[in-house]
Structure 1
């Protein structure tokens, strides 16, 4: 019973790391290369590589594959969190599409 609960908790944690890594990968891939340079961060290729590796490791560790990659999943979580907490905010909101202009008054 306790073992089942532990496996469930670890499975949910691995799933969360996978989702965060995937979100970081998608965000890094969609950003223009110039945004990374302008923000004073490493290159786009570097961050796509880091978040891609994080996504691959966290995917391989999820059940039912369940490869014994516990320590690597921790490193993958750190890589994804660094991107999401430090790099992504520094990049800003990115290029915006022009929307309809509104007048200031009635």
Structure 2
């Protein structure tokens, strides 16, 4: 019975690691798509710094999701927090300063 609980808990943590990795990868792709001038205009750190932070976050998230190393636990949590900060604070601030999110804009709005 104890091994079933342990296996179920391991599965839950692995699923959370996968979700964290997907968030970190999405954040990295998003920061690469944004123009560099939008970051200082929004009074945020530079694009280069956010690219480095999110690259390491994605690396640690990938390692945690695929290898599930207990020693990476703190790094995986820090990587998830970096992605959440980018998605919740930086991304909304820089959206209005550039980048069209892949949408085409016509003279009267998106088309």
Bin the TM-score by the shorter chain.
Answer: 0.7 to 0.9
**Could you say what secondary structure the match of 1:36 adopts?**
helix
1:1-106 residue pairs with structure 2 within 5 A? 1-63=4-66, 65-68=67-70, 69-93=72-96, 94-96=98-100, 99-102=105-108
Give the TM-score normalised by structure 1: 0.87
Structure 1 gap segments, 5+ residues each: none
Instruction: Let me know the Cα RMSD of the aligned residues.
Output: 1.5
Structure 1 position 56, deviation (Å): 0.2
What is the total number of aligned residue pairs between the two structures? Answer: 101
Structure 2 gap segments, 5+ residues each: none
Moved over 6 A (4+): none
Do the aligned partners of 2:33 and 2:99 also contact (CA within 8 Å) in 1? Answer: no
Q: Deviations over 1:31-54 (max 9, x none)?
A: 010000110100000001111110
